[in-house]
Amino acid sequence: MTDTARRRTPIRHLAMSAAAIIAAGGLALFAGTRPGTGAATDTTGATGGPAEPTTGVEFSLALTSRPEGEHLDLIAEEIIGADRELFGVTTAAHRVEEALAFGIQAGKAPNVMMLPVGWADGEFDAGLLDSVAAAGMVPMIGWEPWDHTVAPATGDGRADQPEWALGRIVDGTYDALIDEWARGLADWGHPVVLRFAHEMNGTWYPWAESRNGNAPGEYVAAWHHVHDRFSAAGADNVIWVWSPNITYSGSVPLEPLYPGDDYVDWVGLSGYWGHFPQTPTYVLAFDDLFGPTIAEIRTFTALPLLVTETAATEEGGFKSVWITDLLDTIAERDDLIGFVWFEVDKETDWRIESSPEALEAFRDGVADERYGTADAELWDAALAQVGAGVDVDAADSD
């Protein structure tokens, strides 16, 4: 794990100068991975699944060679190590041009992009990381031990995949894949956030101990097994994020699922406002939605907290109020190091542009100087590469 991983502040490790990238052959702006599941569940039972690409900006992509250079570490250091909140995004098709479009909408460039990758998708591809780094952002990989094509969307059967049982991870069945990724990330060499087997306290994934023939204690054993193999490969540039869902009626206690501070750098949380059977008639504040889970987590670890998935519904008309409360609270609390927005139109329209009021609230919130941004030189070069011609830092908030 990196020295900066223990800091309270955002992430700095992924950029090089635009001139260095151009000299190396240009920008790699296509994240070559499958559309992810983006699973997300809140106290109301909203679950994730594959979504179609949704972007309001048209881009003409040009695929070029991967960036190389010593400045990648410096930029990621400035994102992770500074006293500014992480501002991240995950998108429908998990393509970097969608993150660029999101930054244009938000009036500020995100400095983290989360990309889900299933183990069934196969081999390590450094191009996935290069494409994010080339736009001045830090990559966060949602590394998911399953086959995402089984019973996609909200199908309950996707949690029953015996070939991906936790015991098979522990017994070494997937060591070749684990080692390939560990060596690949170590060789890549720059800070990368790894969100492994998230929302383990739910019932919708095959790594939940209540599903798929798994047994108590196997989640932690699997985590330790994977982490130890990464350590053996020298992948100390990986920032490990243990990321449960916010607790809900019927969810299991979190402490038995916690791998321990020696195996975790940050604690992540998934939590959404919305996807109700009925239209909500009130808004739930950040402290009400996330507070009980944070209080439980604080009984066994004091590590920094990152909201790794969040968004809100337009139903009921409270989205803009909820966004303002979310962004103000994260900026004000020292134990919270940022958030990743779920920019997808799926169970409901989670996107920031779902209404003019929501967009204005989001733009006003992230305009706060306490929120960090992508490396401006790389971001602008990426926009120029895809033909958008928009300087996000100069965009007004009207």
Please state the domain extents for the chain: 3-390
Say which residue, 280 or 372, is predicted with more confidence. Answer: 372
At 335-364, the pLDDT tens digits run 999 999 999 998 899 999 999 999 999 999
Q: Which residues pair with 341 in a beta bridge?
A: 89, 310
What's the pLDDT tens digit per position in 216-267?
Answer: 999 999 999 999 999 999 999 999 999 999 999 889 999 999 999 999 999 9
pLDDT at residue 392, rounded to an integer: 42
373: exposed, middle or buried (Cβ count in 10 Å: 0-12, 13-18, 19+): buried
Nearest to 88 by CA among 55, 132, 51, 126: 132
Largest CA distance in the chain: 56
Other Cβ atoms closer than 10 A to 43: 19
- CB of 109 closer than 8 Å to CB of 136: yes
The pLDDT assigned to 128 comes to 84
What value, to the nearest 5°, has the Cα angle with vertex 123 and ends 118 and 127?
A: 95
C-alpha 215 chain-centroid distance? 27
| pLDDT tens string 254-310 | 999 999 999 999 999 999 998 666 677 788 899 999 999 999 999 999 999 999 999
Looking at the predicted structure, is the pLDDT value of residue 61 above 70? no
How many angstroms from the chain centroid is the CA of residue 267? 12
The H or E element containing residue 129 is: helix 126-133
pLDDT tens-digit readout, 13-44: 333 333 233 233 333 333 332 223 333 333 33
Tokens of 65: 């060679």
Look at 398 and 78; give whichever has higher pLDDT.
78
Nearest residue to 312 via CA among 348, 279, 265: 348
The fold of 3-390 is TIM Barrel (3.20.20)
